[in-house]
Amino acid sequence: MTRPAARNGSRASADRLARLLNLVPYLLARPGIEIAEAAGDLGVTERQLREDLELLWVCGLPGYGPGDLIDMAFDGDRVTITYDAGIDRPLRLTPDEALALVVALRMLAETPGVANREAVERALAKIEDAGDLVGAPVAVRLPGDTRRVEALRAAVEGGKALRITYYTAARDETTERVIDPLRMLMVGGRAYVEAWCRRAEAVRLFRGDRIDAITELGEPAAVPPQAVPHDLTEGVFRPSADLPLITLRIGRGERWITEYYPCERVEAGDGDQWLVSLRVTDLGWARRFVLGLGPEVTVVAPVELAEQVRATAAAALDAYAVPTPTAVPRPAEVEPERTPSGDPAVAGRTQ
């Protein structure tokens, strides 16, 4: 219930910041302007403008002493800026800043799942025109297989149910599913199809590079009312208390785990070792994860995971073991017979 309010608060803060950045140049060009007239020009109430002016009074240059802060003089209901702290013109983008925005907007325009592509393209056109960057030689390509992404986008935008062959890395298995697409999106540089999975009877995310085959069915996508898209603002994987918790003892060389995976607890151990606890989708994934790490990692908990890792490692070692060859006794040497002429004859030769 608080998330929409938080978003509205962020939007209001961004609007106020933009207004404050332009307020000083506006007042510098109109010394002695009445607060009521300025509020009307800026589209805010007089109360809001007075609050903005009070905030400006404590803004300025690093050091933030009395001589560094924006200063102004009031004469009744009129205001005049007496010290601008360098904010004497509206904010302008440097060429490098404009180019960075152009690249970001072009990338956004190519990203699957963007709800309002037209708004992105309009903003892009304005920035390119203002920064004289129309036709700038900037090529933006999404990471991964572009042809696969385009094929998935076309299938999702077709509005049909899809039959896919999908590899699930967590269980190391390939399954066939019928899905009703909701949207396509990019998260962490990877393309995903979010859809209602008829097999799981729930909303699922399917990574594009793990879809081995896709067939468009002759029926429209039938997304049930209870199908709600996931909130992916914090990434695809969101740890929860119902997922298995594993604890590993890691050495210095494996500390990258704490930066790459969301950890619930990180504690210093003996010497350079750390104790790290994190949630995983299932123990099968955790077993393959641990086996892929170096020798500086030991499973502390749960015991079941430690046993699985030990058994799999032992089986792998057995598969690589070379059996000791069994010694074969040499046949006894037979003294060759002698012919009357004295030439040796091979024993057992047919006469």
Assign 3-state DSSP to the chain and report helix, strand, coil percentages, each to 5. Answer: 35, 25, 40
Q: Please tell me the predicted confidence (pLDDT) of residue 176.
A: 94
- Dig out the tokens for 36 from the structure: 């009521």
3-class DSSP assignment, residue 252: helix
- Per-residue pLDDT at 164: 92
What is residue 55's predicted lDDT score, i.e. its pLDDT?
Answer: 87
The predicted-structure confidence for 198-217, as pLDDT tens digits, reads as follows 998 999 889 888 888 888 89
- Residue 232 sits at φ, ψ, to 5 deg, of -110, 20
pTM of this prediction exceeds 0.85: no
Q: For residue 68, what are the contacts with CB-CB under 8 A and spacing of at least 6?
A: 60, 61, 62, 85
Contacting residues for 278 by C-beta, under 8 A, at least 6 apart: 239, 245, 246, 248, 257, 261, 262, 263, 264
- Residues whose CB falls within 8 Å of the CB of residue 268, separated by 6 or more in sequence, listed in order: 274, 275
Measured between alpha carbons, how far apart are the two ends of the chain, in Å?
107
> Tokens representing 59?
């803004």
pLDDT tens figures, 270-324: 888 999 999 987 888 889 889 888 788 999 999 999 999 999 888 888 888 776 6
For 92: left if phi > 0, alpha if psi spans -120 to 50, otherwise beta; the answer is: beta
The span from the CA of 179 to the CA of 193, in Å, is 10
Instruction: Please check whether residue 193 is in contact with residue 205, taking contact to mean a CB–CB distance below 8 angstroms.
Output: yes
The H or E element that residue 186 is part of is: strand 173-187
For residue 78, the model assigns a pLDDT of: 92
Average pLDDT, consecutive stretches of 10 residues, N- to C-terminus, the chain (351 residues): 46 72 86 91 89 84 76 89 76 73 76 65 76 61 64 82 87 88 79 89 88 89 87 69 88 87 86 89 86 88 92 87 65 53 43 38
